[in-house]
C-alpha cells in the first residue's frame, strides 16, 4: 500500500507504507497522511515506546537487593 508523505523540502509524494519507518529514521520525510490528517514525524514517538496507560501518582518504585 502507498501513503502520501511530505518531504523535508515541502514536496508531497507517495511512498510505500512498508518503508515509512525507515524514511522517518533517515529524516527524509517530515509528515505523512493517515486517516485524513497529517502526522508530524519530527517529534513522533514510535508505538512501541508509548506507555499503554499513564502512570498514576499512587505508584511507587522500590529497589530490592540481596547479598
Cell 508509548 locates to 50
The model's pLDDT over 21-61, given as tens digits with 9 standing for 90+, comes to: 888 888 888 999 988 899 888 765 555 555 565 656 555 56
Which of 37, 30, 35, 36 minimizes the C-alpha distance to 13? 30
Integer distance in angstroms from the first to the last C-alpha of the chain? 56
Answering whether pTM is above 0.85, one says: no
* CB burial of residue 32 (10 Å; 0-12, 13-18, 19+): buried
Amino acid at each position: 500500500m502507498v501513503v502520501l508523505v511530505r518531504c523535508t523540502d515541502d514536496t508531497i509524494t507517495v511512498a510505500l507504507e512498508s518503508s515509512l519507518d525507515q524514511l522517518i529514521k533517515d529524516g527524509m520525510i517530515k509528515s505523512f497522511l493517515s486517516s485524513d490528517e497529517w502526522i508530524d514525524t519530527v517529534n513522533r514517538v514510535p508505538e512501541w515506546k508509548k506507555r499503554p496507560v499513564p502512570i498514576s501518582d499512587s505508584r511507587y518504585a522500590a529497589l530490592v537487593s540481596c547479598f
